[in-house]
Amino acid sequence: MEARAQHLHTYFLFPFAVDKEAVMQDHQRVWEKQRLWTAGLDEWIGDHAMGAGSPVPGKLGRWQRDPFRRLDMDSFAYQDMVFFHPFVRRVFFDVGEGIAGEEGAPENMLRVYAIPLAHLGETGRKLIYYAEDARGRSASVRVTDLRLFMFANGIGILTIGVEANDILIPQALWINEMMRKVYPSSGRQIREGRVPCRMELRLEGGGETQVLAEERFSRCAMRGYLPPLSRIITELLYFLNYSEQEFEPLLDERMTVYSYLSVDPASVEPDFDQSEEYEMLMARFLYVDRWGEGYRYDSEFTREAMRRQVYRRWAHQGTLYGFSSYSNVTLVMGRFDCDEHQLREGFLVHRMFMSRYYLQVVVALFYRATLLDFSERTALVSRLLSRKFGSYDITEEDTRMVTRLMAEVQLFSNYWYFSELANKDEEIEHFQMECAEFRVPLMKAEIEQEIEKLNNTLERIYQQRNTESINRLAMLSMILGGGAMITGYFGMNFGREFERMFFAGEQLHGVHYGAVIAVTLLVVGSILFTIFLVASNWSDYRHILLPGKGDKLESLRRTAGFGEVPEEEEQG
């Protein structure tokens, strides 16, 4: 008897960073009256209703704002929000216009969008995600949820939810392992069947099949420094232009897998959930490997890693939760009443998988994506400034660039980041294990240290420049002060012989004219030298004499040398 999965429910999560400055430059009409990124998102995405040639909005539907609208006790919003601290609810729940902050504006800095799929069932159609490899293996799953999270700092997370029922366990593992790929790391991967040679997003039903996006990875090349993203991703993000570097992926060639697998108890031996075979299945599931005998890796190594990565509070009921740097999984045995949580109200573990734990993995991935984006931007800023450190040729724009980066890091630390999201121990423990596997605390400490070092370097440079400026001013003061003393002494109203000699010139005409010439040369020389010093060090005095010069909006990534993308090159 082959082990079967009663229910496979997987979300593939794709984190990306939008080049906000580039997008706001390319779409100035949307942001010409406002500087807030989130304020223009709805209009910007709405402007791409036709998708610039993409079949997704025309045949499937466009991205629509999808905030929580109901907040009563039986709503999903209420049931999800009560498990989180009040300050977390303010930050990570998009309630649209339902709860306003200051001056009636929405309080949160997050926008959630969805492509509604419920209408497909009314017409007898369904959205299918299909993949096949070079060895003839293939699978189709139904897409049940398409959701997009857009944060105020330019980070976005696309989630693709798929479901399958009553399938073999090896097929369920193959689906998770293969459908998460967004580009191959080599051509050898395709030939060996480790990456799909064909992927499709298509509509089926109503007597016809419509392919919305197809990727064969037949022509793959680096696009500047960016990888050749699958058309599945670029077509779903139809409002962003990947060829113009308006966004970039933040992880590797794989999407993060958030998955739920329910094993059919009738297809396995009794007490299977307490056996070593169940641990082997959990290891394959957690590390997103294919089916095979035993552990995929060394058994002692795997057991040791799983002691840290598997949450076992409910292991006696066969429920295991696992966390790795690229997956978050829930493994259960069948469906059953969980104490007083009755099955007729919905299976508790799956309900939690779709609600609070889904939100927690989105938040943890947002933290990781933001910190990775900060790592890139810190490196780019440091590179742009590196050639200026030796000569102290730092401009006011350089200072503003570092200040903006520091402000965003501070906003993340003080507004977005919480080491504790939820009220209850289990939720806290889940989130902390997830963040630990994503290396969030370590990355956050590293970024803060890098930003602090960058700021200290600028402070030392400006301190040196200020010292030099003060020395120049002191030198000018001595010259002008000495000249003032001499000319003042010369111009004093002395009488008798002094007046006749120096002012009237009645005696010793040469002394009189020589004194006038000497004093004139001293005054003119002092003024010219002052003009020369100020002109040669104009950058030090410009922001004092011309205050209030505005920032120039420009893309850091575009100006940092990411390379040009050939227009004729095909995506993927």
Q: Which of 315-319, 445-449, 459-463, 484-488 has the lowest mean pLDDT?
A: 484-488
Report residue 572's pLDDT band, with 50, 70 and 90 as the boundaries.
very low
> Does residue 565 have a pLDDT over 50?
no
Residue 263 β-bridge partners: 5, 333
Tokens of 33: 């009256």
CA dihedral angle for residue 159, residue 432, residue 315, residue 303, rounded to 10 degrees = 100
Report residue 279's pLDDT band, with 50, 70 and 90 as the boundaries.
very high
Cα–Cα dist 372/489, whole Å: 68
Q: CA dist 333 to 271, 285, 301, 354, 430, Å?
A: 10, 14, 25, 17, 20
- 138's CB contacts (< 8 A; 6+ apart) are 130, 131, 132
> Does residue 483 have a pLDDT over 70?
no
Amino acid residing at 54:
S
Please compute the mean of the pLDDT values over residues 248-253 and round it to a whole number. 92
Tokens of 84: 């989180």
Give me the pLDDT at residue 120, please.
Answer: 84
Tokens of 178: 């293969």
Within 10 angstroms of residue 16's Cβ, the number of other Cβ atoms is 22
Please compute the mean of the pLDDT values over residues 456-482 and round it to a whole number. 71
Give me the pLDDT at residue 223, please.
Answer: 77
* Buried residues in 381-395 as b, exposed as e (16+ CB within 10 A): beebbeeeeeeeebe
145 — phi, psi (to 5°)?
A: -155, 130
> Does residue 137 have a pLDDT over 70?
yes
pLDDT in tens, 287-341: 999 999 999 999 999 999 999 999 999 999 999 999 999 999 999 999 888 877 8
* Owner of token pair 């998102």: 41
Residue 217 β-bridge partners: none
What DSSP letter does each residue of 119-135 carry, written as one string? HHHHTT-EEEEEEE-TT
Percent of the chain scoring above 70 in pLDDT? 81
Q: What is the CA radius of gyration of the chain?
A: 33
Contact 159, 12 (CB under 8 A): yes
- 119's CB contacts (< 8 A; 6+ apart) are 61
Question: Which residue did the predictor score with more confidence, 436 or 389?
Answer: 436
Nearest CA-CA partner of 447 in 520, 499, 506, 370: 370
Percent of the chain scoring above 90 in pLDDT? 47
> Does residue 450 have a pLDDT over 80?
yes
Cα–Cα dist 307/37, whole Å: 43
> Does residue 551 have a pLDDT over 50?
no
Question: Which residue did the predictor score with more confidence, 371 or 459?
Answer: 371
Supply the mean pLDDT for the chain: 84
Give me the pLDDT at residue 558, please.
Answer: 61
Q: Are strands 126-132 and 247-249 parallel, antiparallel or unpaired?
A: unpaired
> Does residue 276 have a pLDDT over 70?
yes
Give me the pLDDT at residue 567, please.
Answer: 41
Cα–Cα dist 258/358, whole Å: 8
Q: CA dist 194 to 253, 384, 412, Å?
A: 12, 39, 37
Report residue 540's pLDDT band, with 50, 70 and 90 as the boundaries.
low
> Does residue 463 have a pLDDT over 70?
yes
Question: Which residue did the predictor score with more confidence, 123 or 487?
Answer: 123
Please compute the mean of the pLDDT values over residues 500-511 and round it to a whole number. 61
| Interior angle at CA 147, CA 79 and CA 158, nearest 5 | 125
> Does residue 423 have a pLDDT over 90?
no
Give me the pLDDT at residue 58, please.
Answer: 85
> Does residue 98 have a pLDDT over 60?
no
pLDDT in tens, 167-188: 999 999 999 999 999 999 888 9
pLDDT in tens, 62-78: 999 988 877 778 777 78
pLDDT in tens, 195-227: 999 999 999 987 888 999 999 998 888 877 888
Longest alpha-carbon distance in the chain: 130
Centroid of chain to Cα 123: 37
Report residue 564's pLDDT band, with 50, 70 and 90 as the boundaries.
very low
Q: Which of 24-28, 284-288, 347-351, 494-498 has the lowest mean pLDDT?
A: 494-498
Nearest CA-CA partner of 407 in 455, 364, 365, 363: 455
Cα–Cα dist 101/387, whole Å: 44
